Amino acid sequence: MALQAYRHLLRAARIAFEGDVRVLDAARQSIRQGFRDMATLPASDPSIPPAIQHAGEVASFLRANLVQGKKEEGDMYKLRIHNDTERGDNDTIKLGNQDIKMDGKKCCSS
């Protein structure tokens, strides 16, 4: 299970940081070090399942929510949006300053 999470995290980093060798290498190094730090723990250690779950959540976040931007001319940026990038419908933007209800609760009110 840990090997699967490790591979999933490396693939997600490759997708998220494609074209940026410096950041991709740093991400790979960080992933490897994090798994090496946990490698000495016994298989029955209770901290392992939450760590594997965390790795899966990070991989999902990298794939779906991280978008690279590259500065073009002036103040313009070009975003690298790939097939795994989550795209919202922006319906809440259209509501303006109205109260937004999520699961029957108000959101963002003080």
Task: Look up the pTM and report it.
Answer: 0.72
pLDDT of residue 81: 87
pLDDT of residue 3: 92
Rounded Cα gap, residues 2 and 79, in angstroms = 32
pLDDT of residue 102: 60
pLDDT of residue 110: 46
pLDDT of residue 43: 86
Domain segments of the chain: what residues? 2-107
Question: How far does the chain reach from its first CA to its final CA, in angstroms?
Answer: 43
pLDDT of residue 93: 66
Q: Own/partner pairs for 41-44, CB < 8 Å, 24+ apart?
A: none
Rounded Cα gap, residues 58 and 7, in angstroms = 12
pLDDT of residue 57: 94
pLDDT of residue 89: 72
96: left (phi over 0), alpha (psi -120 to 50) or beta: left
The list of the chain residues with pLDDT below 50 reads 110
